[in-house]
Amino acid sequence: MPLSTFIFDLDGTLLDSIADLADAINRMLAEHHYPTQPMEVFPLYIGDGVRALVERALPPEALARGELDARVADYQRHYADTWNLQSKPYEGMLDALHQMHAQGHAIGVLSNKPQAFTTLCCDHFFPGIPFFEVRGARDDVPRKPDPAAALDMLASLGVAPEDAAYIGDSGIDMEMATRAAMIPIGVRWGFRDEAELLANGAKILIDHPRDLLNPSLLSG
């Protein structure tokens, strides 16, 4: 049966945002005279939500002093200044999303990024894309890899999980899709590597957004 619905991760899947995320973290660290982090560590820091991102970036002494909550607030203040400096949709993504919608597929976004920033990024970088829902991290719903949010999004459309795919770039994304009984599609252009995607249940791997238009993929 053809897949009817596709839900996407945001950072590392739809949006190449790592430079702006790293910039905000390093501004927060520099503000408090902590060592900044090199770009190569950030692919492993991102994906579990903002609190985990900040916790991984902070030095042990800051965590020992109980600074995490305050530094999360500092990071979000800085990210409000950096979120659109270098971020951009991955090449070919906007066209693929438009074509998927034109073919009658429902498309949505589910991210561990805070709701306000998830909405802001989708509105700014994907204007005119009719997402059926854009959902970020909220206090009332557990984050990925818990499948509750994805299942709630599908239920709002009356779509069975087996008729839907989740597209992401991390093991967390693949685990969530598997737990939700959705089709897990891993992207090779994101922040994590192919081995992590496969180890966490990826059934399909794609190399470019245009692969989302492959009839064999859309058929499930």
Please name which of 6, 167, 208, 165 lies closest in space to residue 100, comparing C-alpha atoms.
6
Distance CA 188, CA 100 (A): 20
Instruction: From residue 196, give the alpha-carbon distance in Å to each of 6, 27, 118.
Output: 21, 29, 24
Residue 16 appears among annotated catalytic residues: no
Strands 164-168 and 5-8: parallel
Distance CA 138, CA 85 (A): 25
List residues bridging with 138 in a β-sheet: 141
In the set 9, 11, 20, 74, the catalytic residue is 9
Give the amino acid at 40: E
**Contacts with 216 (C-beta within 8 Å, 6 or more apart), sequence order:** none
* Catalytic residue set: 9
